[in-house]
Copies of this chain bind each other. A is one copy, B any other.
Amino acid sequence: MFSKQTYQNRRKKLINNITEGVILLMGNTESPINFPDNPFPFRQDSSFLYYFGIQQPKLAAIIDVDQEETIIFGDELSIDEIVWMGIQETIKAKANKSGVEKTQAFSQLADYIQKAKSTGRKIHILPPYQAENKITLSKLLEVKISDLKPSVELIKAIVAQREIKEEQEIIQIENTVETSNKMHLLAMQIAKPGMKEYELVSAIKKLAADEESTLAYPPIITIDGQILHNHYYGNTLKSGDLVLNDSGAENKMKYAGDLTRTFPVDKKFTPQQKEIYQIVHTAFEQTKSLLKPGLAFKEVHKKAALIIAQGLIDLGLVKGTAEEAVKNNAHTLFFQTGLGHMMGLDVHDMEDLGEQYVGYTQEDPKDTQTFGWKSLRLGKPLKEGFVVTIEPGIYFIPQLIDMWKAENRLKDFINYDKVEQYRDFGGIRIEDDLLITKEGNRLLGNGLISSVEEIEDFRAKHLS
């Protein structure tokens, strides 16, 4: 946990940004795998962590904006539970560490909410994502689950606070990015023909565990980099393949890292792989260098699209000018994803609060219709203290190529004959995590090799 003052100050600031009423923050519960007593590992809700730092299931907290009073609701262990689970620090003791003096049994939360409702006070809630919390909130507030209304005022206040990382948070994020760097170096070191993808997964999980970390999200470690959400690890690495490794650690304080590297199973990229890789790498380096306060992230995304389009024009896959191709979204046949997103306590930071609030502004809302652009999680102007990812990529998705080709879509911009030569190419993505500083930006962590030369040198050294 951070210091008591940290949590007190964060709550104080939150109270100052809410006009009136009562804030109800739900902690997470354990989710069952196949029966109630066999749950997945517990992960606390990130906003709950941000304001209280307590990693324990079945808690809720009330922050009374008008009285400036905070109460944590939760049930202390019974003697039966202590016998089964050992002596644990009490909720009271944990609450005190985050500067909360008052704790009550969970069942008393219902009374509290009843009273608040009966006196006509506004009760601010966040959008629940755990089904268990949807049920609890529905009971507490006596409204149907479909009628639960998150407080936009609360969401905006929390986003405004969590999006600007504190110095001590940046230290935590750098710590977990450093673990992530090591995970990536290890994968690049041990990968070889004949190995299974899941062997790389095991190796990086072990490394994370050795640093008292877990993974922040199910890793994508695949020779099918073109499958964007790929959690299958059963393929065998073969000579000629590329390995796309998108993985990041989550440290003890629950901060996330999120890095991607793509490297050849052989010592060297093939000439074709190298050409595509260079385009992605140029987009990666150039867009990173642009990041600074005031610049809208969607402009950075557009810059990546332009670089990718130009690179593909040079190779003959795209026709016309880069500017025109991007204006017509021709780049989205190859670059279907967003360039990046916020990162912090969540790998997609605060995504549960709503992308519109986290990544966009009321004046310039998210484009939720256009293919490619609708996958951009962050569009709004950057501010000092944001932590973001930069992750351009080029992906050859056979199903998408077939679909576009059948429609002859954007035929003035796409050279489908040439594209067919890359049909089985796969996909390449390169990703780093960066802090927006006063003057520009700073790479988080000590840096991880990414250029063709660096990766080929490293592979040559380790692949016997």
Cross-chain pairs A/B with CB under 8 angstroms, 7 sampled = A33-B43, A82-B399, A84-B227, A86-B399, A131-B132, A202-B210, A212-B234
**Which residues A127-161 have CB closer than 8 A to chain B?**
129-132, 134-135, 145
The majority secondary structure among interface residues of chain A is loop
In the bound complex, CA of A129 to CA of B132 (Å): 10
List A residues at the B interface (Cβ < 8 Å).
28, 31-41, 43, 45-46, 79, 82-87, 129-132, 134-135, 145, 196, 198-199, 201-203, 205-206, 209-210, 212, 217-218, 224, 226-231, 234, 336, 345-348, 351-352, 397, 399-400, 403
User: What residues of B have a CB within 8 angstroms of the CB of A41 in the complex?
Assistant: 218, 231
Contact A351 B45 (CB under 8 A): no
C-alpha spacing A192/B351, complex, angstroms: 43
Q: With A79-B403, A145-B135, A205-B202 given, is the CB distance from A32 to B130 under 8 Å?
A: yes
Cβ of A217: which chain B residues have Cβ within 8 Å of it?
33, 38
Known: A35-B348, A38-B346, A85-B228. 6 other contacts (CB 8 A): A36-B352, A83-B228, A84-B228, A85-B230, A86-B224, A212-B234
Listed from nearest, the 7 A-B pairs whose CB atoms lie closest are: A131-B131, A31-B31, A86-B227, A35-B352, A202-B206, A131-B132, A35-B351
Contacts of A218 in B (CB 8 A): 38-39, 41
Closest to A400 in B: B83
Q: Give Cα A229–Cα B39 distance, bound, in whole angstroms.
A: 12
**CB–CB A210/B199 < 8 A:** yes
Q: Provided the pairs A82-B399, A83-B397 are in contact, do residues A130 and B129 lie with their beta carbons within 8 angstroms?
A: no
The answer to whether A86 and B202 have CB atoms under 8 Å apart is: no
In the complex formed, the residue of B with least CB distance to A31 is: B31
Task: Across the interface, name the chain B residue whose C-beta is closest to A49.
Answer: B34
A43: chain B residues within 8 A (beta carbon):
33-34
Chain B residues near A352 (CB, 8 Å)?
32, 34-36
Instruction: Give the distance to chain B from A229, nearest Cβ to Cβ, in Å.
Output: 5
